[in-house]
Amino acid sequence: MSKIIVLMGAPGAGKGTQARLLQERLGLPQISTGDMFRALAEASTPLAEEVRAVQSTGKLISDDLVIRVVHERTNREDCKSGYILDGFPRTTVQATMLERLAVEQGHKVSAIFVDAPFEVLEKRTTGRRICPVCGEIYNVYFKPPKFDNACDQHPETQLIQRTDDTAEKIKVRLETYKQQTEPLLEYYKASKRLFKVDGMRDPQKIYEDIEAILTGDD
């Protein structure tokens, strides 16, 4: 199975968990744009220098530069049998650039969309609380702690909410996500490469669906 998996899903849809499972069980590396740009900040290649030069001017990184970064990273040995893309493509222009890269690398592109209603995504994210001691994640709606706002293992410790998880921030993130992603969903749907999975179930069940799609789609 030589495949590029474009993993899509709103914040809180459980995309991260699925990416980790795919990486563990199918051995496909997860390539996230965030990680790539963090790595480039430390690197001393000509491409890294070019990226830093653009960033220092405060300008946006162009699609052309992003695809070159993706190209350089995914031409490495670990991506030979395919890879999972997270955070790329973000636009249909980038999606068409990815088509050319896929042809060059001999991979097939499949888009997996982990779908969940917006009300649930809001609760999953705004309800999230974390124990600062052990890192255990609770949710006031779906997995409340035994004691009010305290960790089950560390009852003396108050749970914290990440600043990204506040209601106002989540609303903005979900709206931005919706605007960006809808054209991409249409793009992959039109070329019959969009596979939708129901993100409302147990992560294990969602994973089984994804694996069945990927192995059945050759």
* Residue 132 CB, nearest approach to Zn ion (Å): 8
> With binding defined as CB under 5 A, does residue 95 bind Zn ion?
no
Catalytic residue (one of 15, 73, 124, 129):
15
Tokens of 117: 């209603």
Q: Longest C-alpha distance within the chain, in Å?
A: 56
Active site residue 173: yes
Contacting residue, 62, 153, 180, 215, with Zn ion by CB under 5 A: 153
Question: Is 38 one of the catalytic residues?
Answer: no
Annotated active-site residue 129? The verdict is no
Tell me which residues in 17-76 interact with Zn ion (CB under 5 A).
none
Q: Which is nearer to Zn ion, 48 or 150 (CB)?
A: 150
- For residues 111-140, which are near Zn ion according to CB under 5 A? 131, 133-134, 136
In the complex with Zn ion, which residue's Cβ is closer, 138 or 207? 138
> Minimal distance in Å, beta carbon 139 to Zn ion?
15
Q: How many residues of this chain bind Zn ion (CB under 5 A)?
A: 7
154 belongs to the binding site for Zn ion (CB under 5 A): yes
Residues belonging to the active site: 15, 90, 128, 162, 173
- Residues within the interface to Zn ion (CB under 5 A): 131, 133-134, 136, 151, 153-154
